[in-house]
Amino acid sequence: MDIVDLARLQFALTAGAHFLFVALTLGLATLVAVVQTRATFGGDPVHLRMTRFWGQLYIINYAMGIVTGLVMEFQLGLSWSGLTAYAGDVFGSALAIETLVAFFVESTFLGLWIFGWDRLNRWAHLALIWVVTLTAYASAFWIMVANGFLQNPVGHVVDGGRLRLTDFGAMVANPAAQVAFGHVLSGAMIVGGFFMAGVSAYHLRRRTAEQDLFRKSLRIGIGVALPALLVTATFGGLGFETMQPTKVAAWVNDPERLAAAQAGMVARFGPGDYLPPVEAVQTSGIAMMTLFALMLFVAVPSFLLMLIRPVVRGFRVWHRLLTLMIPVPFFTVLAGWVFREMGRQPWAVYGLLRTSDAMSPVTEGQMVFSLAAFVTVFTILITVNYWLLARQARRGPGAVALGDRPVDTPVPAPSF
């Protein structure tokens, strides 16, 4: 591998790992907000315990996701200074809004939600989790606006060898960003739904305590995952309409279309190889669609089975299958992300800045050291996150500390 390939591999590994945390965070935040809404309006103690259990898993994943996000951001300065120097004034605006408006608000209100149990009015506490959820959506939206600009640069002019933003509204309304945001958000609902259903099935199969809690959780998980699969497929189909011609040609892998796409790019930009890696685009796309079909094949009969109470309670084979399905949505979103990003090559900013020109002036030794360091850190973070989530999920609601009070603390009078 040359230096550019090493830098691309490093960013692919770290961005993909971070995206796993993001997908589960978006999905679980929504599910926790829905469950707490049910608990607040209905006064059901089971739904309140569900909120605390799933909320604690959400917090673990959120905290580890922040760490991976911070580590990943260092790469923009370390490895891709050419990109930030050329286009940072444009797509950096979306990243700044994501950090200042979305992330800071989200983390602040999440802290209030974590420490506000039995201290805040129940309606105020419910409002907090919805603010957290909506700002998580906003964070994902601005990230996709930035990425959408790299896929389909609009609303800019070239000024002094750099890009300058001239139409902020055009960048926000970019179809490459809007469609991708819907696709990512609905995909996150699949991740959260299968995660909730799989963990619930694990406890139902082992007949642990709180069986009613996990039966209800399983129904919610499948009830969210199935429609989310259909919505994701819809946005995925729309995404093909915003796809670059070279990427479409690589996906179809028709020699005539590949030749036509290459000829069109040569006519625009001069001699060079402008086709993305065909095999990588096809493999990731096929993997994404195959795993989607597998999830749909499991979700449809699961939706029917969960309507039968005795089956939910005692169908151990089905429970084991749902538990084994937990990692499948994660692999699917990773395949989708590879399909989206590999199809943009060889451009960092499509049609404007080649990936090789976006690199920082680093040596091969520096790049190898950086790659080893990032991979090591992310491997540790992913391992720790998996261990914490699995440990807490296996222990069940009885070991939840979220919203718990010391034994000698008096229960406050309810506030309405």
Tell me, what's the pLDDT at 124? 93
Task: Determine the Cα–Cα distance for residues 314 and 335; give it in Å rounded to an integer.
Answer: 34
* All residues at 6 or more sequence positions from 383 whose CB lies less than 8 Å from its CB, including other chains: none
Enumerate the β-bridge partners of residue 163: 158
Give dist(CA 192, CA 184) in Å, integer.
12
Give the pLDDT confidence score for residue 175 in this predicted structure: 93
pLDDT value for 207: 80
Does residue 346 have a cis bond before it (omega within 30 degrees)?
yes
Structure tokens at 53: 């259990």
pLDDT at 407: 41
Q: Is 277 left (phi over 0), alpha (psi -120 to 50) or beta?
A: beta
Which residue, among 102, 108, 139, has the nearest Cα to 21 in the 3D structure? 139
The pLDDT score that the predictor gives to residue 205 is 87
Q: What is the mean pLDDT of each run of 10 residues along the chain (416 residues)?
A: 84 85 92 94 88 92 82 77 88 86 83 88 92 92 92 90 91 93 95 95 84 90 95 92 89 89 90 90 93 95 77 73 94 92 90 90 86 86 88 84 57 45
Q: What whole-number distance in Å separates Cα of residue 299 and Cα of residue 289?
A: 15
Would you state the pLDDT for residue 415? 45
At 316-347, the pLDDT tens digits run 888 899 999 999 999 999 999 999 988 888 99
pLDDT at 397: 83
What is the predicted pLDDT for the residue at 120?
A: 86
